[in-house]
Amino acid sequence: MSSLPSSVTPLLLSIDHVGIAVPDLDAAIAFHRDVLGLTVVHEEVNEEQGVREAMVAVGGDPTGAQIQLIAPTGPDSTIAKFIDRSGPGLQQLAYRVADVEQVGAALRAAGLRLLYDEPRRGTAGSRINFVHPKDTGGVLIELVQPGGE
Amino acid sequence: MSSLPSSVTPLLLSIDHVGIAVPDLDAAIAFHRDVLGLTVVHEEVNEEQGVREAMVAVGGDPTGAQIQLIAPTGPDSTIAKFIDRSGPGLQQLAYRVADVEQVGAALRAAGLRLLYDEPRRGTAGSRINFVHPKDTGGVLIELVQPGGE
Ligand SMILES: [Co+2]
Ligand SMILES: [Co+2]
C-alpha cells in the first residue's frame, strides 16, 4: 500500500550525485584526482547557490552517480555555514528525477517540506529543489532534473 | 603526474553505496519504500560491525549506486556513537573496488590511514575497509570488494 501518487512513479531514477562540503575547492579536486584517481568532468560557479563546485566522475559510466565537491563563495554561503557547524564532509544526497515539479508536488503531498517554492538552477543547467532534512531522517535530499547542456 | 601506482588503476570502480545512519531501521525502510518509492533489496545483521542494515536500490540498474540504511545493534555501536555525536544522516561513502587489499595498500602508500589492518566482512559477503575521515576531507570512505553471494 504505497502512498505514492501513481502519476509519478518511479519518483527517483537514480543517485545523481553525492555532495561533499569542502573549504578549498582546488585542494579537494587535487585529492580526488591525484590520490583517489577520479576524473573531474565539470566545474562552475553558481552565485545563486553561493557555491564553487566540481563534478567528479567515478568509473567509466557517464550516467553513473558522481561526486559533487562544493565550496562556499563567501562566509554567508549555506556551505560556509554547514562547514562552520558540522565540519567538511558529506552534505547532500541528490536523486535524479524526470520532472522536478511533479516529484516535488508528490513529496509535498506526502507531507515533506521543500526548500524552494519553485525549482532553481543547479549544475549545468539542471533544475533542482531540496527536501528539508528534518523530514527525511537528517539527510539533505536534492532533486535534480538534468539540463540540456 | 599522478601519485597512483600504475598497478592499481582505476582504484575506484564506481560509487557502491551511500550510508545513512538511522536510529530505527524499520522506520527508515518504511520511509524509503513508501514515501520515496525505492526498493529494499537486502537486509542483514552484521554483529562484527555492530549494525542492522538494509540495502536500498534506486532505479532499475542493479549495478548502480545504492543506499545503505545503517542502524546500531546497541549503544556501543559505531553507528550509535555517530548518531549521538552528529545526529542521524549521511555517514559514509562507499566506493566499489576490484581488490580491497591492493587498493588499501595503494592508499596507504599515498599516506592515508585505513581503519583495519586486514579487510573485514561487509554486506553480503563483501570485503571492506575504511579510510580515516581525517585523511579524506571529513568523509568516511569505505572500500567494498563485492562478495560472491
Ligand atoms: Co548538488
Ligand atoms: Co557501507
CATH number of the domain enclosing B92: 3.10.180.10
On whether the CB atoms of residues A78 and A31 are closer than 8 A, the answer is: no
Residues, CB-to-ion distance under 5 Å, ligand 2: B 19, 68, 94, 142
B147 has pLDDT over 70 = yes
Helix (H, G, I), strand (E, B) or coil at B103: helix
Grid coordinates belonging to A56: 567528479
Assigned domain for B35 exists: yes
Domain range for B60 is: 13-145
The tens digit of pLDDT for each residue in A43-61 reads 999 999 999 999 999 998 8
Whether the CB-CB separation of A51 and A71 falls below 8 Å is answered with: yes
Q: Which B-chain residues 12-31 have CB contacts (< 8 A) with chain A?
A: 12-15, 18, 20-22, 27-28, 31
The answer as to whether A59 is a domain residue is yes
pLDDT score at A5: 53
Chain A residue numbers with beta carbons less than 8 Å from the beta carbon of B33 are 2
- CA–CA gap between residue A70 and residue A32 (Å, rounded): 13
Kindly tell me if the per-residue pLDDT of A41 is higher than 90.
yes
pLDDT tens for A98-142 read 999 999 999 999 999 999 999 999 999 999 999 999 999 999 999
A6 lies in a domain?
no
For A14, the closest of B64, B90, B112 (CB atoms) is B64
In a domain, A62, yes or no: yes
Place B149 in a pLDDT band, splitting at 50, 70 and 90: low
Q: Note the pLDDT of residue B7.
A: 62
Domain tally, chain B: 1
> Residue B100 domain-assigned?
yes
Residue B1 has pLDDT above 50, yes or no: no
CA separation for the pair B100, B119 (Å, rounded): 7
Q: Does residue B7 form part of some domain?
A: no
| Interface ipTM above 0.90 | yes
Q: Can you list the positions of beta strands (E) in A11-123?
A: 14-21, 39-46, 51-57, 66-72, 89-96, 120-121
Q: What is the mean pLDDT of residues B43-47?
A: 96
The angle at the Cα of B91, spanning B85 to B96, to the nearest 5 degrees, equals 155
The answer to whether A11 and A109 have CB atoms below 8 angstroms apart is no
The confidence band for B106, taking pLDDT boundaries of 50, 70 and 90, is: very high
- Domain assignment present for A4: no
Q: B69 pLDDT exceeds 80?
A: yes
Asked if residue A134 belongs to a domain, the reply is yes
Ligand nearest to the CA of B122: 2
What are the CA-CA distances from residue A33 to residues A42, A53, A79 (Å)?
13, 14, 22
Distance B60 CA to ligand 2 centre (A): 20
